[in-house]
Amino acid sequence: MVRGVVQGVGFRPFVARLAAELGVVGFCGNDVTSVFVEAEGPESVLDRFVERLHRDAPPAAVVVAVETWTVPTRGEAAFTIVPSRHSEGRRTLVPPDTAVCADCLRELFDPADRRYRHPFISCTNCGPRFTIITDLPYDRPVTTMTGFPLCPRCRAEYDDPADRRFHAQPVACHDCGPRIRLEFDQTAVTGDDRVLGAAHARLAAGEVLAVKGIGGYHLACRADVEDVVQRLRDRKHRPDKPFALMVRDLEVARRLVEVGSAAERALTSTAAPIVLLRRRPGSGIVDAVAPRLDELGLMLPYTPLHHLLFASVPGSDVPPPDVLVMTSANLSGEPLCWQDDDARTRMAGIADAFLINDRPIAVPCEDSIVRIEDGVRPDVEVVLRRSRGMAPLPTEIPATDTVVLAVGAELKNTITIAAGPNAYTSAHLGDMSTLEAREAFLRSVDHLIALHGVPPQAVAADLHPGFLTSRWAAERAEAENLPLLPVQHHHAHLASLLAEHGRVGRPVIGAVFDGTGLGCDRHVWGGEILAIGEDVTTAERVGHLEEFPLPGGDVAVRQPFRVALALLHHAGLAGRDWTPAGVPEAAVAAVRSQLRSGIACVPTSSVGRLFDGVASLLGVRHAITYEAQAAIELEAAAATASAAHPLSAPVVDGRILVGPLVAAVVAARDAGVPVPNIALGFHEALTAATVELLTATADRTGVRTVGISGGVFANRILARDLARALARRDLDVLTHSRIPGNDGGLALGQAVVARAMLRKGRRD
C-alpha cells in the first residue's frame, strides 16, 4: 500500500513500467486510501522493486509510506493496472495543480505534433489536479474532464503503459478536449488561433481581458501603458494595491527584476507561484502596476494557454506581449471569479472581453505568492500565500483519533482539517467581508470534508467572538453537538510555526507580531512574546509591546493618522501642532478629543499599528486602501536609506516602550533627518528591542529555541535582521517557509492546539 501524493501524478504507470523493467508480475490500482500493488517475483527483485517505489517516484509524487506484507503467489502472467476500487480508511493525499512540463511544451510548439498549439496539453507529469477533482479515488469520471469523451487516439495513449499519458486523467487533444473562445459585445470568436489572434489585438489596443485559467479567472492587460493600468484600477476599485505580472520567460523577468538562483528555482518550479522581487530601474513597467513600492510580483506562464498568449499566432501580424498584468478577477474585497456565468456577471463592467474555455473548475484556487529571504539561511523561499501548486498538500502533526475542523480567522482565511497524522489546509480563501467570500468559505469547508472523507468531531476557531468564522464555528458546533475550541490568535500563530518544523511538544519562545488579535484580557494584541512548553495547549505571555490607545478601533486600521495622533498622545506630545497633510482639521480635532476623553479608545500592543502610526508621523501614508499599505510603504522607504538614523526602544519589565521611541522619531523628523533614514532607524530600534527581550527570556528559562511568526514579519528588513541577530546569540531560530506566517497559517495552528486540548480533556 503506497500512501502519499500518489494519485494524479502518474504513479500507477510508473509502477507498471518499473515492474516490466524488473520482470515483476501482478497488478496495481487506486483506492480512496492509497495505490495498492500486488507484486510477484524473486525476493531479491521484490526488495529492489519496493526500494525504487520510494527512490524513483514521478516528480510530482510524494511517497509518505510503503506498507508491505507477504501473500500467497497467484501465478500472474503479466503486470496490469486494474480498475479503481473502494475501501475503508483514511483517504489518500490529493495532488496539487502543476505547471505544464517541458515535454508538453516541446509538443505544444512542434508543428509535427498532433497537439501542436493545443491549449490544454498535459500528461501524467503536469496539468490540473486539485482544481478538477470532485471525489476520490482519482480517475477521469470523478474529474471535470468526465464530459469530454476520449477520441480513439487519446484513448490509445491512455491505455498504453509505455506512453507518457497512460492513465493521465486530464488528457485531451484538438479532437476531444476542451475548447477556447473569445466573447465580447455579444459576439463569440472560435477556433484556437483565431481566438488567440483576436486576444492579442485587443490586448495591444489597451483592452482588459478576463482569462479563464486552472483555478479561476485573471484580468489581463498591458503593463507598459499608464492609462491602461490605471483604467483597470479604476474599474476594479483597487487604487493602490500592487498587481501581479506574468512574463513570457526568464529572459524577460531578468529585464524587469533581480533574479537570483533561488528566485529562478521558484519561478520555474512546478508550483509556478508569484515571486516578489526587487524591480530594476528602466524596466518599462509603469508606476501604476505597483505604486511607491520597490518590488514587483512576477510569475511565468504555467498553463498551455498562458504560453500561447505569449507566442506569435501563425499568419497574424500582431506581435504577442512580453509581459502582462495578470491579477485575480474580482472586485476589491471579493473572492475570485471561477464560474463562467458568475465571471460574465461580476466582471461585466471591468473586462472588455472574455477568453473562456468549456472545462469546468471544481475548486477555485488563487495563485500562490512567495518571497526569497536571507535570514538565518541564505535564499530561503518563504510562502506568503499558499494556494495553487501547494494546496492541499498536508502538514504532518502529532496523530490523534479526533478529526478537527479549524476555520481560521477573518483575513487571509484558510481552513484546516486535521485527521490522523496530517493537517490538510485549504487554498487561500481571502477576507470574510462579503457575501461571496462567505459562500466560498462554506464551499471550501464542504469540499475539504468530502474530499478527505472525514466528518469533523470538533471545531476550532479564533478566540474573537465577533469574527464571522468564529460565529459560524459556534453555530456548526451547536447544530452537530460538537466540542467548540476557541484558540487565542497569537498562540495559534506560534503553534503553526511549531507544526511546520515538526517541533510540536518541544519548548519554544516566540515573537508573534501582527496587526490585530484578541488577547486573553480582551485587549487588541499584536506585539507578543509567548512561551510554549512541552504542552502546546498553553502559552504564557512573557513580554509584549507597551500598550497604547487605538482611537475608533477598526477605523484606525484604515486611517493611520489616528494611530499617529494616539502615539503622540501616549508619548506626552499631544500638544504638538501637527496636522497630517490632506486630513481635514475637524477630523484631527475629533480624534484628539476622543483621546483626551478615552471614549472608544481600545488598548493595543499591536506592532502592525505601531508601523502604521510611524508611517503617518513621517508623512508616508495617512490613510490606506489595502491591508498593511502604510507599513509596506514605510519598509520601501527604509530600503532606500543612505544610513539608519540611531533610535532606540527601551525594554522595561518585559515591555518594549513605545513612548520614547515615538518621541525620538518625531525629534528626528523635526530636525530634518531624511525620512528613509528615520524609517530604517525605526526598524533597527524595534529589532534591537525584540532581540533584547527574547534573549533575556531565553536566558531566564533556559529555552534556546526561538520562533518568529505573524504577518508583520512579511517585512523583509525586520524578519532578516531579527533572525540574524538571534542566530548570532547561539539561539535556534525557527522562521516560516512552507506555511504562511500571516493569518493564512492560522487554521493549522488552531487545529494543532485544539487536538492537544481534546487529548487532555480540555475545552479552553
Q: How far apart are CA 580 and CA 616, in angstroms?
A: 7
Pick the catalytic residue: 3, 12, 385, 621?
12
Q: Is the dihedral of CA 220, 226, 228, 233 positive or negative?
A: positive
Give the amino acid at 668. Answer: A
Mention every residue, 6+ apart, whose C-beta is less than 8 A from residue 99.
126, 269, 270, 271, 272, 300, 302, 303, 389
Quick check: bond before 137 cis, omega within 30?
yes
Within 10 Å of residue 149's Cβ, how many Cβ atoms?
Answer: 10
CB within 8 Å of 186: residues ≥ 6 apart: none
- Is residue 93 within 8 A of residue 40, CB to CB? The reply is no
Query: What is the amino acid identity at position 460?
Result: A
Distance CA 21, CA 44 (A): 14
Secondary structure percentages of the chain, helix, strand, coil, to 5:
35, 20, 45
Looking at this protein, which amino acid is placed at residue 62? V
Rounded Cα–Cα distance for residues 184 and 207 (Å) = 11
* Catalytic choice (30, 125, 413, 742): 30
Torsion of CA 501, 507, 511, 514, to 10 degrees: 60
Helix (H) / strand (E) element for 364: namely none
Phi then psi for residue 706, to 5 deg, are: -125, 130
CA distances from 313 to 49, 200, 676 (A): 47, 9, 47
Q: Quick one: DSSP state of residue 752?
A: H
Instruction: Reduce the secondary structure of 405-443 to three states and give it as a string.
Output: EECCCCCCECCEEEEEEEEEECCCCECCCCHHHHHHHHH
Residue 534 has φ and ψ, to the nearest 5°, of -65, -25
724: annotated active-site residue: no
Rounded distance between C-alpha atoms, residue 135 and residue 128, angstroms: 14
Nearest to 509 by CA among 732, 250, 206, 271: 732
**Rounded CA gap, 600 and 594, in Å?**
7
Q: Is 251 exposed, middle or buried (0-12, 13-18, 19+ CB in 10 A)?
A: exposed
CA-nearest of 373, 555, 496 to 751 is 496
Residues 6+ apart with CB under 8 A from 314: 193
Burial class (CB in 10 A: 0-12, 13-18, 19+), 349: exposed
- Residues ≥6 apart with Cβ < 8 Å to 611: 628, 630, 631, 634, 712, 715
Locate 675 and state its grid cell.
525620512
Query: Residue 30 catalytic?
Result: yes
- For residue 515, how many C-alpha atoms fall within 13 Å in the half-sphere facing its CB? 24
Length of the chain counted residue by residue: 764
Q: Please state the separation of Cα 367 from the chain's center in Å.
A: 7
Continuous H helices in 43-135? 43-55, 102-108
Spatial CA neighbour of 81 closest among 125, 44, 39: 39
Rg (CA), the chain: 27
End-to-end CA distance of the chain: 39
Tell me the catalytic residues: 12, 30
